[in-house]
Amino acid sequence: MPETLDALDARLLLLLTDSPRLGVLECARRLGVARGTVQARLDRLTERGILGGFPPELDLAAMGYGLTAFAVLEIAQGRRAEVVEALSAIDEVCEVYATTGQGDLFVRMVARNNDDLQRVVDEVVGAPYVRRTSTSIALSTPVPPRVRPLLERLARS
């Protein structure tokens, strides 16, 4: 059973979620703990793979990629590695999940407009061993990707 986060871990991660550029000393001050405690917690969270870095939060629409689409791909059996490699070479493919159910892979992709999406979809469909796709365009993101509610629950415990 993996070790779970405690309330201090959750409070530290919430703090860094809100202010990712804070230094260890400032985190310690805001949390009311020693600098060494914060550093040890960060090291442990990194070693456990919970904390993978501090990438900036980017707005893809502001970067010119205002269209988000999802595709369910059915692929030839036993060929997931080859398909994933081909999808990784398509810059507009943001995420790929191996799934159960109707399809084999769930792909999130972005495009500049409908014509650009057609180009991206054509690239996805052209990947070797892709047998069938079903694509949907996202109209909005009512619940964006998040972990805050989970961290807040842990921080209260």
Kindly state the average pLDDT of the residues 91-109: 97
pLDDT band for 157, please (50, 70, 90 cuts): confident
Taking the chain, what is the end-to-end CA distance rounded to the nearest angstrom?
19
- HSE-CB at 48 with a 13 A cutoff on CA atoms is 14
Give ranges for CATH 1.10.10.10 in the chain. Answer: 7-56
Cite the DSSP H helix spans in 48-138: 80-88, 114-125
Give ranges for CATH 3.30.70.920 in the chain. Answer: 61-138
Does pLDDT of 56 surpass 80? no
Does pLDDT of 70 surpass 70? yes
Q: Can you say whether the dihedral through the CA atoms of 39, 45, 49, 54 is positive or negative?
A: negative
Question: Could you give the CA distance from residue 111 to residue 73 in angstroms, rounded to a whole number?
Answer: 18
Does pLDDT of 151 surpass 60? yes
Does pLDDT of 103 surpass 50? yes
Supply the pLDDT for residue 2: 58
pLDDT band for 1, please (50, 70, 90 cuts): very low
Question: Could you give the CA distance from residue 90 to residue 133 in angstroms, rounded to a whole number?
Answer: 16
Kindly state the average pLDDT of the residues 103-130: 98
Task: Report, at the CATH architecture level, how domain 61-138 is classified.
Answer: 2-Layer Sandwich (3.30)
Q: Which residues of 76-95 are buried (b: 16+ CB within 10 A; e: fewer)?
A: eeebbeebbebbeebebbee
Question: Could you give the CA distance from residue 71 to residue 124 in angstroms, rounded to a whole number?
Answer: 9
- Which CATH number does 7-56 carry? 1.10.10.10
What's the predicted TM-score (pTM) here?
0.81
Supply the pLDDT for residue 52: 87
